[in-house]
Structure 1
Amino acid sequence: MFATTHRVTLEDGRRVVVKAAPDETDRLLSYEHDVLRTEALVYGLADGRPELLMPTLLLADFSRTVLPGDAVVVSHLDGVPLNEAGFEAGDPRLMRVETELGAHLARQGSVTGPLFGYPSNPGLQAGTWPEAFGRIIEALLADGRRWGTALPDDEIRAAVARHAGALAEVTTPRLVHTDLWPGNLFVDPSSGALVGVIDPERAIWGDPLFDLVGADAMWHGTSAHLLAGYAAEAGAPWAVDEPAAATRLLLYRVQLALVMLVEITPRAYEGDWLVEYVHQLRAILDRALAGLA
């Protein structure tokens, strides 16, 4: 629904993955411009750090001469996407994946950056997290107006402004994937071991708590196994229930709900599922705003 991806077998038998960004940039949201450059950046940061479980970047082409848009070539990962592994709730293999994802988030958070915000989008960067997050929200509200998505702009702005203090507690820009849904997690289907993490194109420098929202887009609840895995790797519990942290999680719920609502029109989503999907996203947005009130 965004990039075009091919699995390619080279003449010497190696398998690689070729990913090309869309060339129809008029239908991108503000934050999506040049995101494949962010993907290349993150893979570069993970080079030499196998514990981050990311593919090796083999080639990055941003010339837009070979293909109409940016392209990257990366090593092919073992395993299968978690959403294709067939694990059911209560399966010990799923519990293992969740635990190892928590440990992965602790390791990922050790990677720090120079500024808050989207690495490839200077307009959505700032020296502080409240300022960067405010710019990210304003860009989404502008995208919503552009695509005719009805949003409670004033209520959202007021919530972000009211809780700037909670955002200000984040003082170090840390690597946040933001899109750790099951399709971006590769697992060993026999054991449940987490063997790969892909698609960091939407990564930001920000608050690691953000990834708890990206990994639970429809707000079913953060896995206790994930939190246990984080605590074991970090050497301390993740203080997700502290007031400022809980407030930030609600703000990130608002941000992700905005992304998912606004992108519907430019992506031209259609089908019988869409009515219920929009209803769920509206409910998430309302619930988060109510909590912030």
Structure 2
Amino acid sequence: MPHDDARTLPLDALRALVAPVGAVESAERLTGGTFATTYRVTLADGRRVVVKTAAADPGTLLSHEHDLIRTEAEVYALAGAHPGLRMPALLHADFTRAVVPGDVVVAAHLDGVPWTGVGFGPADEDPRAARAQADLGAVMERLHALTGERFGYPQSPALQAPTWRGAFTAMVRALLSDAERAGVPDVPAARVQEALDAHGAALDEVTVPRLVHSDLWPGNLFVDPATGALLGVIDPERALWGDPLLDLVGSDPMWDGVPAAVAGDLDVTSPGAAARLLLARMWLGLVMTIEVTVRAYEGDWAVAYEAANRRSLARALDGLGV
């Protein structure tokens, strides 16, 4: 994964950002992400917090990524009243862009370790994996019980609508515009538009805007490595009000297969739901394909990543019959 030294925050900036919470004793940059810059900070009183900021330069962002840190702060604040969502407490937010050129959240540090690093076996063989999947399904159910007034991204009025068909169509068309602006080659725009036109009735089946994290892959989930218990959920900056099926796709971005324990009672088999699941995979395939060019990813991993995402996009479009 890329590691851009230009995204490193000076210690003086970290001190200023954390000052409303406490004094900095030490700081460690956390790697592994490609969007935000994140630090684990130990305070003088022994507490640990996480400081996260993201670029505000529109040239490096997709349309839906503007002001995403503000969405993260909004979701963390909402989660403060819903402990079952297992998100960290929001301690401070700075949207002035006076200290660093982007928005900032300071959140409590979570217990546990990332699910990606614990080496669970298959769920039918490893009870820890089964526990983690069941807990994730329960968190999704609690997320989706929270409802909003409009569909779409909280910080993007242009990507909101009174209907899910309207919001989702705007989201997808914005991605196609991003691809054109960035010169992304071989984007099947005509097939994508045909899929939207052909399956609008399925999108209309979603009538209530529900809170969707959209990025619940194992790297954003903290677990107890001994038991598999899900202890924490992070990175809700891409959250939106929409179709809960987007969370199934976000938890399974490389199309490995969503376990029944995660899907819970969500309908994934009726004709409308099956179409929406494929539309969600089409949407995520577009996001992950286009970001390679927009972010200027480089290296062998980027080549493999883009190829896998293009395969997922093509598979979704084939499944949608376009």
What is the TM-score of this pair, normalised by structure 2?
Answer: 0.86
Quote the sequence identity (%).
57
Alignment of 1:1-293 (within 5 A): 1-89=34-122, 90-149=125-184, 150-227=186-263, 230=264, 237-293=265-321
- 2:292, 2:302 within 8 Å by CA — same for their partners in 1? no
Other structure's SS at 2:232 match: strand
Between the aligned partners of 2:74 and 2:64, the Cα distance in structure 1 is: 16
The alpha carbon displacement at 1:88 in A equals 2.3
> Cα distance 1:16–1:146, how it changes in 2: closer, same or farther (>3 A)?
same
8 A Cα contact 2:56 2:66, kept in partner: no
SS of 2:177's equivalent in the other structure is: helix
For 2:171 and 2:137, locate their aligned partners in 1 and report how far apart those are by CA, in whole Å.
Answer: 26
Displacement, 1:14? 1.0
Shift of 1:273: 2.9
- Find the residue that maps to 1:7 and give its secondary structure: strand
Give the distance between the partners of 2:209 and 2:266, measured in 1 at CA.
Answer: 17
Q: Separation in 2 of the partners of 1:291 and 1:86? A: 32
**Partner Cα separation in structure 2 for residue 223 and residue 248 of structure 1:** 18
CA drift of 1:33 comes to 0.4
Residues in 1 aligned to 2:52 and 2:232: alpha-carbon distance in whole angstroms: 17
Asked whether the equivalents of residues 56 and 67 of structure 2 are also in contact (C-alpha less than 8 Å), the reply is: no
Give the length in aligned residue pairs: 285
In structure 1, what is the Cα distance between the partners aligned to 2:292 and 2:280? 19
Output the amino acid matched with 2:306. V
Does the residue aligned with 1:9 lie in a helix, a strand or coil? strand
SS in 2 for 1:74: strand
Equivalent-residue separation in structure 2 for 1:277 and 1:66 (angstroms): 34
State the Cα distance separating 1:48 from its structure 2 match.
2.3
Shift of 1:255: 0.3
Q: Kindly provide the amino acid, as one letter, of the partner of residue 285 in structure 2.
A: A
Q: Distance in 2 between matches of 1:137 and 1:225?
A: 29
Instruction: Give the aligned CA root-mean-square deviation in angstroms.
Output: 1.1
Aligned equivalents of 1:36, 1:60: Cα separation in 2: 9
C-alpha distance in structure 2 between counterparts of 1:279 and 1:258, whole Å:
12
Residue type of the alignment partner of 1:272:
D
User: Whole-Å Cα distance in 2 between the matches of residues 162 and 169 of structure 1?
Assistant: 14
Q: Where does structure 2 lack aligned partners over 5 or more consecutive residues? A: 1-33
1:24-79 deviation per Cα after TM superposition (whole angstroms, max 9, x unaligned):
33211111000011001101111121111000001111011122110000011000
Instruction: Give the 4+ runs in structure 1 shifted more than 4 A.
Output: none
